[in-house]
Amino acid sequence: SPRLRLGAVGDYASKPLVLYDDNGDEAVTIVKHQMFVHVGGSVNLWHRLRLAVSLPVTVWNSGNAGYLNQTFVDAREGGGVGDLRLAADVRLLGEYGDAFTLAFGTQVHLPTGDREAFTGDGKVRVTPRLAAAGDIGPFAYAAHGAFNFRAQDENFNGEAFGNELLFGAAFGVRTAEDKLVLGPEVFGSTVVSDSGDGAFKRRPTPFELIFGGHYTAGDVRFGLGAGPGLTRGVGAPRARVLASLEYVP
């Protein structure tokens, strides 16, 4: 029978978009505080196919306007919505609880956000992805790789901008009769521009680290995590805090 999952994730970032001068000093904090609440749900069909939808809602967005290299950079205050995400994933190998499972899927971002408020691209994005995960005794792991096709490819403040490689990995330890999972997660992206100038350079390659946990109580699962940006890449915050609530009957 179909398995339904509903949830919300609060996502707060401190200084996720900062411009630096030639000396590496902070010049303009375009986005100083940004908080989304991602609301959505998914349904699992035939124990193999997952369909999902998610909408990020901006509840806090603030920053400063200013000049950098004689270019005026504006900031947008207030709330709104981000780009609506539709996703489908199919499990190719393994079963839940196995030492190795593999899945392939695609996520489509619809341009419902505000580009000037840095909550959307203004154009459709398509992101095919490959994910692996497994359980080995009390340990759990997951990893993913994806390619983000972006129609929006204008450079930002002289930095490469456009198609991206996305990647991440997580590791956890199950405890409290498997109700609690604790561990770190690292994730990032890098711009793959037409000229190849952006790949794995510092500014177009944001990296983040989150340490957190999930606790399952019956049909409800709670999550909490926090961590820093590891680089000064565009979009990497000084710090990020995540909190989640899921209903999984």
Given a cut of 90, whether residue 171 has pLDDT beyond it is: yes
Round the average pLDDT of the chain to a whole number and report it.
Answer: 88
pLDDT band at 117 (very low <50, low <70, confident <90, very high): confident
Closest CA to 135 of 94, 165, 104: 94
Mean pLDDT of the region 219-238: 92
pLDDT tens-place string over residues 61-86: 888 876 655 566 666 676 688 999 99
Asked whether 201 and 188 are in contact (CB, 8 A), the reply is: no
pLDDT of 128 above 90: yes
- Residue of 187, 165, 185, 197 whose CA lies nearest to 236: 187
Banded model confidence at residue 172, pLDDT cuts 50, 70, 90? very high
pTM for this model (two decimals): 0.88
Tokens of 24: 């590496």
Please give the average per-residue pLDDT across 169-179, as a whole number: 95
Distance CA 54, CA 39 (A): 6
pLDDT at 71: 62
More confident residue, 118 or 7: 7
Q: Map 38-57 to HEC letters.
A: EEEEEEEECCCEEEEEEEEE
pLDDT reported for residue 126 = 96
Please identify which residue in the block is written with the tokens 């967005």: 61
Rounded to whole angstroms, how far apart are CA atoms 229 and 14? 10
Go through the chain and tell me how many residues it has.
249
Residue predicted with more confidence, 195 or 144: 144
Q: Which amino acid makes up residue 145?
A: G
Is residue 75 within 8 Å of residue 31, measured between CB atoms? Answer: yes
Closest to 10 in 3D by CA, of 206, 215, 245: 245
